[in-house]
């Protein structure tokens, strides 16, 4: 895996800009609205960093890329919503083909009175080809399938009665198992995790 | 993650506090109640999160200063420093090499304390869920020198939710706000091992002694309790011979899906705990509660069909095999009245195993306590019971599970559990019974020959049923 010195600061700036834009666009009329009520969906994009670790690896492989997320959900109560989240992370770096796809059942909790700040977490299935550094420098990637756990925080910004914006930071930890690369290289007990900063449009 | 010092506490809890309440006269429950079991008060999420952190600091310092805990290599794992925190944050997740009992039994109990920090601070079930993961996450990064392990996050988080809600409800059942004097204090103390965080919270805020009304849904309405004591014969895979031991079992049925409409998560749950003191300690801990249910049929109709979603934690450990996991089940609970006082109940569930663990010949991490694989999977559970006046006289259960290993060996495991249990009532509360169980596992390894094993188990026992769930045509109270 190609190691880049690029900082994730670019991702942070993008998410911050999206959040500020949303805050500016949010009118006073929408101030008390909940962004997610009844059935809702959100879709968005962001920047993400993949880290890959295995028991036979000597280091942690890192790659940067973009994420696309889509979630369909319903409200259980004013404070708790449930959803099904699909996420695709794709590497933008040169080197072996890497992407991580996941389908996760998520719960989202609004602990504060304003119903804007939320915690999101869930578990589901994950698959994708990833590579790791420190085995033999092999540029290849191998596909694994397993289970993933996502944990994150976010902020809903209502823009209107049926539209909102959400900014989110989340980590998706995926257990992909043993992977085999060409040349009899094995990545044992591989864990890949994607940390993302993203902005999404919320419709309800 | 290492085992916090909770094993002994846990072993004591169901046999003390958990059994203390059912003998008491049953109070009617408000069927439509959605109130939390704890007395209502303004939720304090940040205080709950803070209590989770305090739990971590306490457990860590106890292990470091009192136990001077070290692993098999002599590493003092609780001696955390800013340097270990920084390393844990910079390195990615990994898998730990702890023993089966540590990962699959102790961690869910540890997680229940985080969860109950939320329940004790007025948060409802769903609001308390993130706290189980937050507590586990902070422990993994900052509570020990080891790198954070993904299996711990699953088992502490999901297992903690199941055990946490069960202990929270049992704790509320044991406590009685209306009592005074020694009886009150004994009840509060008996609830401590079940819900230590809730008990400390009551101690801090006066709930320990304050007299007042109980929460309206403190009692589930129906409560069934069966205790079995007898002998057990199981095949030992290691020695290749039979293992004979004494065996004790507790079956707890909290709530009855056929008597009460779904109100809140875990308004109905089941616990099966089997302990063989000289046969491996805790052999079975299976706890499930319904997360959601939809009744397809009117309350007094027969047959009844209820679509149910359960969350389950399971721990099976015998001399011959080990199996455990955190799962969610979706299926149909059915029941019909076969004759006056005779009920037949069946269950059929599809199971999603979020994180399971199974031992096999080539599994685990060589040179460590890990003799089992971790992985997600799927399964099917089917069961049927014949109940005479609320006493299960004949029960059969079948559980098939597939587990795809993502840590340990490169393998796919297929397991089957089948069991039959019969009880002959001698008096309304006492009977004699027999159990026959069959475990079968087939493992397919990548690049190696597969393996198939079978382990039978038999038990003969006396059964005591101090509290039973009434038959469908009986009045519950």
Q: B385: how many CB neighbours lie within 10 A of its CB? A: 17
Contacts of A35 (CB under 8 A, 6+ apart): A116, A156, A157, A158, A164, A165, A166, A202, A204
pLDDT, tens digit, 9 for 90 and up, residues B402-456: 999 999 999 999 999 999 999 999 998 999 999 999 999 999 998 888 888 888 9
CA distance B362 to chain A (A): 14
Dihedral (CA of B288, B294, B299, B304) sign: negative
CB contact at 8 A, A1 and A54: no
- The mean pLDDT value for B353-373 works out to 87
Confidence (pTM): 0.87
Q: A38: how many CB neighbours lie within 10 A of its CB? A: 10
pLDDT, tens digit, 9 for 90 and up, residues B19-75: 333 333 333 333 333 333 444 568 899 999 999 999 999 999 999 999 999 988 888
pLDDT of residue B356: 97
pLDDT of residue A13: 56
B355: nearest Cα among A148, A150, A143, A104? A148
CA distance B173 to B217: 10
CA distance B414 to B399: 11
User: Cβ contact (<8 Å) for B130 and A109?
Assistant: yes
| Percent of chain A predicted with pLDDT > 70 | 80
User: Cβ contact (<8 Å) for A51 and B375?
Assistant: no
pLDDT, tens digit, 9 for 90 and up, residues B253-312: 999 999 889 999 999 999 999 999 887 789 999 999 999 999 998 877 889 999 999 999
CA distance A171 to A50: 10
CA distance A173 to chain B (A): 8
CB contact at 8 A, B254 and B272: no
- Greater confidence, B433 or B12? B433
CB contact at 8 A, B261 and B31: yes
Least confident of A28-42, A88-102, B1-15: B1-15
Q: Answer whether B406 touches A (CB < 8 Å).
A: yes
CB contact at 8 A, B153 and B137: yes
Bridge-based pairing of strands B411-425 and B342-359 is unpaired
pLDDT of residue A9: 53
**For chain B, what are the domain ranges?**
7-205, 223-467
What is B217-274 written as a DSSP string? TSS-S-EEEEEEEEEEEEE-TTTSSEEEEEEEEEEEEES-TTTS---STTSSEEEEEE
Where does the pLDDT of residue B395 fall: very low under 50, low under 70, confident under 90, or very high at 90 and above? Answer: very high
Beta bridge partners of B68: none
What is B164-223 written as a DSSP string? HHHHHHHHHHH--TT--HHHHHHHHHHHTTT-HHHHHHHHHHTTTT---PPPTTSS-S-E
Average per-residue pLDDT in chain A? 82
pLDDT of residue A10: 53
Is B387's pLDDT higher than 90? Answer: yes
Tokens for B87? 């390393």
pLDDT, tens digit, 9 for 90 and up, residues A129-174: 888 664 455 567 888 899 999 999 999 999 888 899 999 999 999 9
Q: Chain A contacts of B135, Cβ < 8 Å? A: none
Bridge-based pairing of strands B451-467 and B342-359 is unpaired
Q: Find the CB nearest A175 among B46, B129, B407.
A: B407
Enter the DSSP assignment of A115. S
Return the SS3 of A57: coil
- Greater confidence, A24 or B387? B387
CA distance B94 to chain A (A): 7
pLDDT, tens digit, 9 for 90 and up, residues B86-142: 999 988 789 998 999 999 999 999 999 999 999 999 999 999 999 999 999 999 999
A160: nearest Cα among A10, A65, A35, A43? A35
pLDDT, tens digit, 9 for 90 and up, residues B139-183: 999 999 999 999 999 999 999 999 999 999 999 999 999 998 899
Q: Chain A contacts of B330, Cβ < 8 Å? A: none
* Residue ranges of B 346-405 with Cβ closer than 8 A to chain A: 354-355, 365, 374-376, 404-405
Q: Chain A contacts of B94, Cβ < 8 Å? A: 53, 55, 189, 191
CA distances (Å), origin B133, targets A121, B127, B356? 9, 12, 18
Where does the pLDDT of residue B12 fall: very low under 50, low under 70, confident under 90, or very high at 90 and above? Answer: very low
Tokens for B186? 């004994």
- Greater confidence, A185 or B130? B130
Residues from A contacting B (CB-CB < 8 Å) are: 51-53, 55, 60, 76-77, 79-80, 107, 109, 111-112, 119, 121, 123, 125, 144-147, 149, 151, 173, 175-178, 189-191, 193
| Percent of chain B predicted with pLDDT > 70 | 90
> Is domain B223-467 annotated with CATH 2.60.40?
no
Dihedral (CA of B176, B181, B182, B185) sign: positive
CB contact at 8 A, B100 and B357: yes
User: Cβ contact (<8 Å) for A55 and B95?
Assistant: yes
- The mean pLDDT value for A66-92 works out to 93
A80: nearest Cα among B124, B115, B165, B111? B124
> Could you tell me the domains of chain A?
9-203 (2.40.160.20)
Disruptive mutation site among B407, B411, B413, B444 for chain A (greatest number of A CBs within 10 Å): B407
């Amino acid at each position: 895996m190609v190691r880049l010195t690029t900082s994730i600061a670019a991702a942070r700036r993008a998410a911050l800009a999206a959040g500020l834009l949303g805050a500016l666009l949010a009118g006073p009329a929408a101030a008390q609205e909940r962004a997610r009520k009844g059935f809702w969906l959100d879709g968005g994009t962001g920047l993400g960093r993949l880290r890959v670790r295995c028991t036979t690896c000597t280091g942690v492989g890192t790659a940067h890329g973009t994420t696309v997320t889509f979630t369909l959900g319903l409200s259980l109560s004013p404070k708790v919503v449930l959803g099904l989240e699909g996420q695709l992370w794709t590497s933008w770096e040169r080197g072996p083909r890497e992407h991580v796809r996941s389908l996760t059942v998520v719960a989202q909790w609004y602990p504060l009175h304003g119903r804007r700040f939320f915690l999101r977490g869930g578990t589901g299935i994950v698959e994708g080809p990833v590579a790791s550094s420190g085995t033999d420098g092999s540029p290849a990637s191998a596909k694994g399938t397993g289970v993933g756990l996502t944990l994150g925080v976010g902020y809903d910004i209502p823009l209107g009665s049926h539209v909102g914006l959400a900014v989110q930071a989340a980590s998706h930890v995926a257990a992909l198992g043993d992977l085999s690369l060409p040349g009899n290289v094995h990545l044992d007990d591989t864990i890949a995790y994607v940390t993302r900063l993203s902005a999404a449009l919320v419709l309800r | 993650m290492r085992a916090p010092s909770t094993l002994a506490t846990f072993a004591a809890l169901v046999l003390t506090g958990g059994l203390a309440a059912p003998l008491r006269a049953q109070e009617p429950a408000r069927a439509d109640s959605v109130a939390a079991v704890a007395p209502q008060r303004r939720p304090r999420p940040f205080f709950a999160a803070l209590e989770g952190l305090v739990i971590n600091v306490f457990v860590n310092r106890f292990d470091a200063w009192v136990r001077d805990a070290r692993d098999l290599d002599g590493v003092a794992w609780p001696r955390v420093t800013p340097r270990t925190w920084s390393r844990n944050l910079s390195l990615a997740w990994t898998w730990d090499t702890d023993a089966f009992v540590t990962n699959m039994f102790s961690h869910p109990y540890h997680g229940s304390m985080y969860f109950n920090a939320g329940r004790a601070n007025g948060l409802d079930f769903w609001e308390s869920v993130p706290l189980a993961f937050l507590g586990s996450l902070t422990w993994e990064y900052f509570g020990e020198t080891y790198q954070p392990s993904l299996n711990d996050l699953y088992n502490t988080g999901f297992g903690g939710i199941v055990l946490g809600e069960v202990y929270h409800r049992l704790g509320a059942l044991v406590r009685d706000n209306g009592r005074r004097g020694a009886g009150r204090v004994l009840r509060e103390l008996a609830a401590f091992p079940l819900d230590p965080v809730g008990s400390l919270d009551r101690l801090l805020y006066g709930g320990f002694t304050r007299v007042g009304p109980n929460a309206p849904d403190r009692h589930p309405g129906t409560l069934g309790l069966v205790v079995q004591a007898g002998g057990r014969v199981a095949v030992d895979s290691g020695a290749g011979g039979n293992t004979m031991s004494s065996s004790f079992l507790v079956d707890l049925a909290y709530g009855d899906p056929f008597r009460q409409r779904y109100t809140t998560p875990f308004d109905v749950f089941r616990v099966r705990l089997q302990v063989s003191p000289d046969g491996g300690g805790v052999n079975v801990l299976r706890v499930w509660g319904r997360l959601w249910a939809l009744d397809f049929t009117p309350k007094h109709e027969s047959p009844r069909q209820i679509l149910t979603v359960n969350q389950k934690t399971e721990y099976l450990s015998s001399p011959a095999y080990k199996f455990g996991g955190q799962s969610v089940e979706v299926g149909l609970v059915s029941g019909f009245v076969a004759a006056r006082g005779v009920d037949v109940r069946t269950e059929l569930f599809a199971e999603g195993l979020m994180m399971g663990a199974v031992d096999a010949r080539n599994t685990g991490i060589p040179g460590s306590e890990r003799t089992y694989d971790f992985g997600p999977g799927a399964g099917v559970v089917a069961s049927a019971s014949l109940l005479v006046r609320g006493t299960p006289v004949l029960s059969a259960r079948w559980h098939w599970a597939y587990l795809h290993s993502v840590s340990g060996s490169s393998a796919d495991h297929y397991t089957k559990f089948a069991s039959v249990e019969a009880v002959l009532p001698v008096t309304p509360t006492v009977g004699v019974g027999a159990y026959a169980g069959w475990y079968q596992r087939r493992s397919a390894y990548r690049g190696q020959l597969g393996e198939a094993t079978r382990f039978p188990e038999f038990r003969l026992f006396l059964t005591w049923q101090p509290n039973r769930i009434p038959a469908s045509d009986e009045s519950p109270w």
